[in-house]
C-alpha cells in the first residue's frame, strides 16, 4: 500500500528452539500482510510438490540456503522486510540451534524488539531462558513472548498462564525490559498473529501485528549525551577552489545525543576544546543534528583529528582507559583462554588487545556466574578483563549501545570471534583543557 507520509521503522528478531515455528511465524506475517508475491508463492508450491509432499511450507520462504531446506532448519540470520500502512519492519529470523547462538546475537544486536517463541506443549526450555537472557544482555528494550502452537493444547488459558508465570518468575533476574507482552497464538493457522483470534476469548489482546505496529519506540534512542566517533576525515584539498582547499570536515555517524552549530565540544583523546563552526551536509548546513544521523562537522580551530578520535559535549565525558571489563559472547570454535591477543574494534578504531582474565562464565541452567572458568567455548557468555595497547574512549553498554560495544577479531584468520559489552568506566576522561584557560 503506498504511503504518503513518512513512517517509522521497527527492527525485530524472532528466536526460539528448533520447531517452535519461527520461520512459519514470519511466513505468516508476510502472507497475511499481503507482502508475499505470486512468484514466491508459486516457487513454494513448486518445491512443495517436489519435496514437501504437496503441502506449502511457509518456512521455505526464509530458509534461503540449500542446506537449510534440506535439513529443515535455519542456519543463518535471514532478513525479511514487510510494511503495513503504519510501519515498516526489518525482521531478523535467527536460528534456534544452540550452535548458532552467535547468529542470534547478531540478529538481536540491532533490534528494537525481540520475539521469543515458546512451544505451548513443551513450555519453558533451556533455549527459552537462553534467548530471553541474550535479549536482555543485548539491551533490547521490548520483549514479546509468543506462546505458539496453542491449537495443540486446546487453547488452554491455564497452560498459557502457567508458562507466563514461569517466565515472569525468572525475567527480573536477567535485567529490565521496557515492556514485555505475552501472546497466545498459532502461527500455522494465523490465530492472534495478524488478527485477534476468536479462540482466545480469555485473552485481552492485542494480536502480534497490532503490537508491532504500536509499541512505543521513539524513546529507545539515547538523545542525552553527545558522542561522535570520527569515521573519515573529509579534506577535498582542491588546489583550484580556495574554499575547498581550506575545507576540513570530520565525517561520521552520531552515536548518541544532539549537536548544534556554535556549540562547544571536546575532542578526545587530545582533550582540546573547540566550537562547532558548521554541521555540513550534502543537503546544506544544519542548525543541529542528532543520532543516528551521518554528518560532517567542521571545527572553529585547526586541530589534528583523525579516525578513531571522538567529539563529545562538555558534560558527561566518556571513560578513558586501557583496562576494560566486559561481558562477551564467544563466537568461535577455538575456545578463549586468558592471555590471548586480538584486534578489538570499537566505534571507528581498531586496537590490539590482550585478554588478561576470564572472570566468570554464565551457567545456562542456573544463570549463575561461575567464577574462574578454564576458558570460554563457542556460544559461551562470560565476563572478561582486557588490556588495550591504546586507551579506549567508551561508555558502559547499558547507557550507550554504540560506544559501549566492541568485537574481537582473531589475528591471522581475521575471524570475528566475540561480541563484547563494556562495563561502565570507573572514571571519566580528564581533558587537560582546564590548564589552557587563561
Partner 1 sequence: MSSYHLDHLQYLETEAIHIMREVAAEFERPALLFSGGKDSICLLRLAEKAFRPSDIPMPFLNVETGHEFPELLEFRDRRAKELGAKLIVRTVDEAIAKGHAHPAPGEISRNKLQIPVLLGAIEEFQFDCAIGGARRDEEKARAKERFFSFRDSFGQWDPKNQRPEIWNLYNAKLNPGENMRVFPLSNWTEMDVWEYIKKEKLEVPNLYFSHERDCFWRGGQWLPVPPPHTDSTKSDPFAGARPKQNEPIKKMIVRVRTIADMISTGMIESKTDTIDDIIAEVAAARVTERGTRADDKASEAAMEDRKKAGYF
> Is residue 355 close enough to count as binding partner 1 by CB under 8 A?
no
Minimum CB separation of residue 168 from partner 1 in Å reads: 29
DSSP annotation string for 100-123: GHHHHHHHHTT-SEEEEEEETTT-
Is 64 strand, coil or helix? coil
> Which residues are 394's β-sheet partners?
319
Instruction: Let me know: does 136 contact 111? Beta carbons within 8 Å.
Output: no
At 50, give phi and psi (nearest 5°).
-80, -50
Distance CA(150)–CA(163), nearest Å, equals 12
Is 340 strand, coil or helix? coil
> Is residue 102 close enough to count as binding partner 1 by CB under 8 A?
yes
> Is residue 334 close enough to count as binding partner 1 by CB under 8 A?
no
Nearer to partner 1, 88 or 164 (CB): 88
Minimum CB separation of residue 417 from partner 1 in Å reads: 9
DSSP annotation string for 306-333: -TT-EEE-SSSPPEEEEEEEEEEEE-SS
Nearer to partner 1, 66 or 430 (CB): 66
Nearer to partner 1, 196 or 415 (CB): 415
Minimum CB separation of residue 241 from partner 1 in Å reads: 9
> Is residue 409 close enough to count as binding partner 1 by CB under 8 A?
yes
Pick out residues in 218-257 that bind partner 1 (CB under 8 A).
Answer: 218, 221, 223, 231-232, 234-237, 244, 247, 249, 251-253
> Is residue 76 close enough to count as binding partner 1 by CB under 8 A?
yes
Minimum CB separation of residue 414 from partner 1 in Å reads: 4
Report CA torsion sign: 280, 283, 287, 293. Answer: negative
Measured torsion, CA atoms of residues 123, 125, 128, 129, in degrees rounded to the nearest 10: 120
Nearer to partner 1, 103 or 200 (CB): 103
Pick out residues in 389-408 that bind partner 1 (CB under 8 A).
Answer: 401-402, 405-407
CB within 8 Å of 56: residues ≥ 6 apart: 41, 44, 45, 48
Nearer to partner 1, 338 or 415 (CB): 415
Binding-residue pattern over the window 119 to 158 for partner 1, x denoting contact by CB under 8 A: ----------------------------------------
Listed ranges 37-45, 147-155, 169-177, 266-274: which one lies at the site for partner 1 (CB under 8 A): 37-45
Contact with partner 1 (CB under 8 A) among 290, 364, 423, 433: 290
Expressed in angstroms, the distance from the first to the final Cα of the chain is 62
Distance CA(279)–CA(130), nearest Å, equals 44
Minimum CB separation of residue 348 from partner 1 in Å reads: 7
Nearer to partner 1, 238 or 322 (CB): 238
Contact with partner 1 (CB under 8 A) among 142, 327, 346, 361: 346
> Is residue 294 close enough to count as binding partner 1 by CB under 8 A?
yes
Distance CA(16)–CA(120), nearest Å, equals 12
> Is residue 62 close enough to count as binding partner 1 by CB under 8 A?
yes
Amino acid at each position: 500500500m503506498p504511503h504518503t507520509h513518512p513512517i517509522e521503522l521497527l527492527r525485530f528478531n524472532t528466536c526460539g528452539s528448533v520447531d517452535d515455528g519461527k520461520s512459519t511465524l514470519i511466513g505468516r506475517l508476510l502472507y497475511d500482510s499481503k507482502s508475499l508475491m505470486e512468484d514466491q508463492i508459486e516457487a513454494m508450491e513448486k518445491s512443495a510438490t517436489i519435496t514437501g509432499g504437496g503441502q506449502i511450507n511457509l518456512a521455505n520462504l526464509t530458509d534461503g540456503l540449500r542446506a537449510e531446506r534440506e535439513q529443515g532448519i535455519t542456519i543463518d540470520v535471514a532478513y525479511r522486510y514487510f510494511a503495513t500502512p503504519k510501519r515498516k519492519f526489518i525482521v531478523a529470523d535467527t536460528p534456534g540451534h544452540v550452535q548458532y547462538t552467535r547468529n542470534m546475537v547478531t540478529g538481536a544486536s540491532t533490534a528494537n524488539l525481540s520475539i521469543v517463541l515458546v512451544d505451548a506443549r513443551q513450555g519453558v526450555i533451556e533455549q527459552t531462558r537462553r534467548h530471553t537472557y541474550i535479549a536482555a544482555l543485548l539491551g533490547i528494550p521490548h520483549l514479546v513472548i509468543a506462546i505458539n502452537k496453542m491449537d495443540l493444547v486446546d487453547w488452554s488459558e491455564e497452560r498459557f498462564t502457567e508458562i507466563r508465570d514461569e517466565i515472569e518468575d525468572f525475567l527480573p533476574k536477567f535485567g529490565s525490559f521496557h515492556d514485555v507482552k505475552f501472546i497466545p497464538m498459532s502461527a500455522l493457522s494465523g490465530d492472534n498473529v495478524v488478527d485477534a483470534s476468536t479462540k482466545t476469548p480469555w485473552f485481552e489482546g492485542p494480536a502480534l501485528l497490532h503490537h508491532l505496529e504500536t509499541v512505543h519506540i521513539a524513546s529507545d534512542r539515547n538523545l542525552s549525551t553527545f558522542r561522535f566517533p570520527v569515521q573519515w576525515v573529509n579534506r577535498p584539498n582542491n588546489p583550484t577552489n580556495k574554499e575547498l582547499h581550506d575545507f576540513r570536515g570530520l565525517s561520521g555517524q552520531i552515536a548518541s545525543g544532539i549537536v548544534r552549530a556554535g556549540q562547544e565540544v571536546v575532542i578526545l583523546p587530545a582533550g582540546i576544546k573547540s566550537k562547532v563552526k558548521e554541521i555540513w551536509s550534502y543537503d546544506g548546513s544544519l542548525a543541529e543534528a542528532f543520532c543516528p544521523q551521518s554528518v560532517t562537522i567542521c571545527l572553529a580551530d585547526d586541530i589534528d583529528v583523525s579516525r578513531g578520535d571522538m567529539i563529545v559535549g562538555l558534560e558527561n565525558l566518556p571513560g578513558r582507559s586501557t583496562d576494560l571489563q566486559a561481558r562477551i559472547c564467544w563466537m568461535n570454535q577455538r575456545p578463549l583462554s586468558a592471555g590471548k591477543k586480538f584486534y578489538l574494534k570499537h566505534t571507528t578504531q581498531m586496537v590490539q588487545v590482550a585478554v588478561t582474565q576470564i572472570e566468570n562464565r554464565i551457567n545456562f541452567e542456573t544463570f549463575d556466574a561461575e567464577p574462574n572458568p578454564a576458558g570460554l567455548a563457542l556460544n559461551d557468555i562470560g565476563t572478561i578483563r582486557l588490556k588495550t595497547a591504546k586507551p579506549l574512549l567508551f561508555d558502559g553498554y547499558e547507557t550507550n549501545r554504540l560506544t559501549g560495544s566492541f568485537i574481537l577479531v582473531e589475528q591471522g584468520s581475521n575471524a570475528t570471534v566475540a561480541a563484547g559489552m563494556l562495563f561502565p568506566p570507573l572514571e571519566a576522561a580528564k581533558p587537560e583543557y582546564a590548564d589552557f584557560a587563561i
